[in-house]
Chain A
Amino acid sequence: MTTKNSLTQSSMPLYPAKTKIQVTIIFFVVLGIYTFSMIWTQDEMVGGFGGALGNMYTVIEKFFPPNFTILPTIWKAMMQTIQMAIIATTIAAILTVPLAVLSAQNITTLKPLYYITRTFLNLLRTIPDLVLAVIFVGLFGVGVFPGILALTVFSLGILAKLISETIESVDMNPLEAMRASGGNVFQVIWYSLVPQIAPQFTSLVLYVFEINIRASVVLGMVGAGGIGLVLNQHLKFYNYPNAMTIIIVIFATVLIIEFISNKIREALL
């Protein structure tokens, strides 16, 4: 009986035929999309990669050597960028808590509330950070403040989504125990949900902080303050050696911050 069973099983395919056909079709569709888009972009590219290599030489000639004498003057703008990112990340981290809880299906059992917050967060995420910056610069004028607002809204969208997904994957057993011992909603969340997500929460906030540093550079170019604003000015005046210094400073800063936050995250998880 057992031998007969194992014999039939060894000659059986690992997946049913239907699944195989489906996966094959999906594979070819994806391949088709790739081929199509490759042909398309080739038509649009002027000169292809050969042209880019030629341009590269001109670019390097213009940008090098970087002018390090401006370092003292750009230092302040770089700090401003970091401050923007810190403030925006902090505000977003606080605002994200209620939003993330309300958009986690296992905690918010009231369906309408869940759908409303989920839709709100989805809408928030569809707005690109640059668009947010342009809107806020238009409303509040050039400066750091619109930059902070844009970063806050932008990172809130990402953070709330990531954290609500973390919440949805927690162990529900301790929550049941707290409920069974007569705790109310806030006590249940504080005692059994918060300890479970605290490490991931910190890790995700640090990750969003890194994203915010990079994003704030780009936002500066549309007038939202910080180092991006200065970089944009130098580029506009064709002051490429100065711009190169700024790029190097940004590069170094991002690397250092990533290194530090990676170390913190390693210690947490």
Chain B
Amino acid sequence: MIEFKNVGLVYPNGTEGLKNINVKINDGEFVVIVGLSGAGKSTFIRSINRLVTPTSGSLLVDNEDILKHKGKNLRKLRTKVGMIFQNYNLVKRTNVFKNVLAGRLGHTGTLRSIFNLYSKEDKALAYNNLTRVNIEEKVYNRADELSGGQQQRVSIARVLTQTPKYILADEPVASLDPPTSHQVMTYLKKINKEDNITTIVNLHFIDMAMEYADRIIGMRAGEVVFDGPASEVTEKTFEEIYGRSIREDDLRGGAQE
């Protein structure tokens, strides 16, 4: 369970990233955070694995306040909370298998990981996760030989290899075309259901949010302005969240039936 209690974040330049956030995310939920760029979606998600550090309030992950975490505790938190990025963030010159095994870093000692001494189980897990996202035939290809959608699938396999309890996805489909976007979201949803991994996704496409989310949290100017089940959400709700009428480019389109 993730719990934001009066969380605020002021960046060193004075910008307020988060304002008095109070949100509770239950285990197994598939939450989509929506909002315009600059609304604080990224800051919200990155607070949970402390890629950014909120400046006030408390943030509980499994009833532990993570805002004071440092060094070893912080790395332990990060092994538990996996992350997927907009630009996939793979090491381009390294092959797919090693990129996926990098998900084990938090579980592996420094020397073992430097000399590639991964256990049989770790390697089996990594390969198995590649098959789960149907990319196992590219196992020895270099990451930069893959298309965007394939790279994002590898990054999903990497995050699965981490065996996380939570997955954060920061605009995972913003650099992809509509069909590939739906494919990636379908994988995320499937993993959420099958492994019961709590998943929090940032999106700005409202049709995708409505299609995949269990629960939608709307953000504007660093504040949570909407929080409710996806079934209750209509276009009107989005107009309220965005503070303007819905436009063509707020929709991804190309939904798979």
Contacts and interface: CB of A to CB of B under 8 A. Distances in A.
Contacts of A181: 78-79, 82-83, 102-103, 105-106, 158-159, 162
Contacts of B51: 176, 179-180
A2 B49 CA distance: 47
Contacts of B186: none
B102 A191 contact: yes
A183 interface: yes
A173 B106 contact: no
A178 interface: yes
Interface in B85-105: 85, 87, 89-94, 98, 102-103, 105
A173 B108 CA distance: 21
A179 B78 contact: yes
A183 B106 contact: yes
B110 interface: yes
B76 interface: yes
A195 B94 contact: yes
B75 interface: yes
A174 interface: yes
A182 B85 contact: no
Contacts of B159: 181
A187 B87 CA distance: 21
A116 interface: no
Nearest to B49: A180
Contacts of B106: 181-183
Given A182-B76, A187-B113, A174 B105 contact: no
B95 to A, nearest CB: 10
B83 A174 contact: no
A173 B78 contact: no
A195 B93 contact: yes
Contacts of B76: 182
